[in-house]
Structure 1
C-alpha cells in the first residue's frame, strides 16, 4: 500500500475514534491490514432498525480515495436499497457521487441515514421495494423482525410501535434524516472550523475544494476552532485554489 494511502486511512480511523458524536466506529479486520476494515453504527431512532447494531464490511481499493470504498452490510437487513441476500448497497455516495474529499466516516453516516430514508423507486432488492410500496405495514413488520433477529434490536413490548408510520414517527424520521444530512455536511469540513473554510467558499469555491487546499498546504485544524490565518498561508491557499500551486 502506498504511503499516502496508508497515512490517509490511518488519519481517517483516528478521526473516527476521536469523534464520538458521529456515532460510527471502524477498525481493521486484521491487525495492520488497512485494506480491509469493519464499520459499525446503530439503527436510527424511530425506524424499524432502532436499537440494532449494524456491521459494514469495507474494502479499500488500490486507488483510494479517488475511487470509493467497497462497502456491504454484514448484518442482514430488510431494506429496499440493500440486498437481503448479499448486503450489497445501492447508494450514490458509494458510486457516481463519490469524491476524494469524502471519507469512510461520511460514507458510514450516509449508510446510517439511508436506513431512515429508503428509496424504493431505486432499489437494490426489488422484492423488498415492492413490499414497501404495496404493503408498507408488512414492510415495517418484516424490517423490525430482521432487526431483532440479526441486529440484536430489543423486542417491543405489547402496545409499543415497531417503526410503523404515524404522524409523530414521520416527523421524527424527517428530523433524523435532517440530522444525518447535517452530519454529512459537517463531515465535509474534515475537522476544520466552518467559518474558517467559509471565508474561501464566499469567494465562489466549494467546500471540498477549500478543504483539499487546506490539507495540501498543511493548515492546522486547531481542534475545530476559528482563527486568523497568516498572510503567507492565505496566499498559498489562494494559489492552490486558482491552480497556481
Structure 2
C-alpha cells in the first residue's frame, strides 16, 4: 500500500508539472497577435489534453487561403511522447491521408524531442505543406500524382482547398446541410467530424 501510494504521489506530481508546461504552451500558441498562422486551444476549458488546432495554408502553395483544422491529443507521457495530431479538414497532400487525415511526419513519431512544443509541431506541419515529401508518403495515390503529374496535383490540391478549407465554403456547407432540415449547431459538428464532407455529414445526421 505504501509503495502504491508513493507511486501515485509521483504520478500526480508529474501530471502537475506537465499541466504547468501545457498552460504555458497554450498561452504561447493561443495568442491572437501571433502572425505565424498556427493556433491551438482546448475544446473544453477543463481539459488541456484535447486541443483544436488551426493552420493557415502557406502563401505560394495550393493550400494558400485555406484554414486547416487539426485534432490534437496530448498523451499522458507528454513531453516525452509526441502529441497525436491529425487533419480534420480534408487536404490533398502526399504526407497526409486524403481519407483519414493521418499525418506522416518524423517529429510526430521517432524524431520527437521534449524540447519541442505544440507550436513547433504545428509550424512543422505548416512547413510540410510548403515542401511535401513524396518519397515517404502517407497517401500513395497522392504521392504518385505529385511525382508524375505535378500540374494535376496542384490543380487538385487547390480544388480541395476551395472545397473544404475556405471559411466561405464552410459557411456555405453549413447552410446547405441546414437546408435539409438540420439545425446549424448539429450541421457544423457533423461537418467538422467528417472533414467538411457534406455527404458523410448528412449520412451521419440521418443515422443519429
| TM exceeding 0.5 | yes
> Which runs of 5 or more residues in structure 1 are unaligned?
156-245
Match of 2:93 in 1: 79
Q: What are the within-5 Å matches in structure 2 for residues 1-245 of structure 1?
A: 2-18=15-31, 20-152=34-166
Cα distance in structure 1, aligned partners of 2:112 and 2:68: 22
Cα distance in structure 2, aligned partners of 1:153 and 1:79: 20
Cα distance in structure 2, aligned partners of 1:24 and 1:152: 16
Cα distance in structure 1, aligned partners of 2:64 and 2:137: 21
Do the aligned partners of residues 153 and 127 (structure 1) sit closer, same or farther apart at CA in structure 2, a change above 3 Å counting?
farther
Mapped contact 2:94–2:140 kept (Cα < 8 A): yes
Once the two structures are superposed, what CA deviation does each residue of 1:153-203 show, in whole Å capped at 9, x if it has no partner? 789xxxxxxxxxxxxxxxxxxxxxxxxxxxxxxxxxxxxxxxxxxxxxxxx
Give the C-alpha shift of residue 5 in structure 1.
1.1
- Of the two, which has the highest radius of gyration? 1
Cα distance in structure 1, aligned partners of 2:158 and 2:168: 10
Once the two structures are superposed, what CA deviation does each residue of 1:48-73 show, in whole Å capped at 9, x if it has no partner? 00000011100000000000000000
Match of 2:187 in 1: none
Cα distance in structure 1, aligned partners of 2:150 and 2:90: 19
Once the two structures are superposed, what CA deviation does each residue of 1:52-104 show, in whole Å capped at 9, x if it has no partner? 00111000000000000000000100000000000000001111110001000
What is the TM-score normalised by the length of structure 1?
0.61
Mapped contact 2:30–2:41 kept (Cα < 8 A): no
Cα distance in structure 1, aligned partners of 2:65 and 2:149: 23
Give the C-alpha shift of residue 15 in structure 1.
1.4
Mapped contact 1:43–1:49 kept (Cα < 8 A): yes
User: More strand per residue: 1 or 2?
Assistant: 2
Number of paired residues? 155
Once the two structures are superposed, what CA deviation does each residue of 1:88-137 show, in whole Å capped at 9, x if it has no partner? 00001111110001000000000001001011111000000001111111
Residue 163 of structure 2 aligns to a residue whose secondary structure is helix
The runs of 4+ residues in structure 1 deviating greater than 6 Å are none
> Which runs of 5 or more residues in structure 2 are unaligned?
1-11, 170-208
What is the TM-score normalised by the length of structure 2?
0.72
Cα distance in structure 1, aligned partners of 2:71 and 2:30: 18
Cα distance in structure 2, aligned partners of 1:98 and 1:42: 23
Give the C-alpha shift of residue 32 in structure 1.
1.4
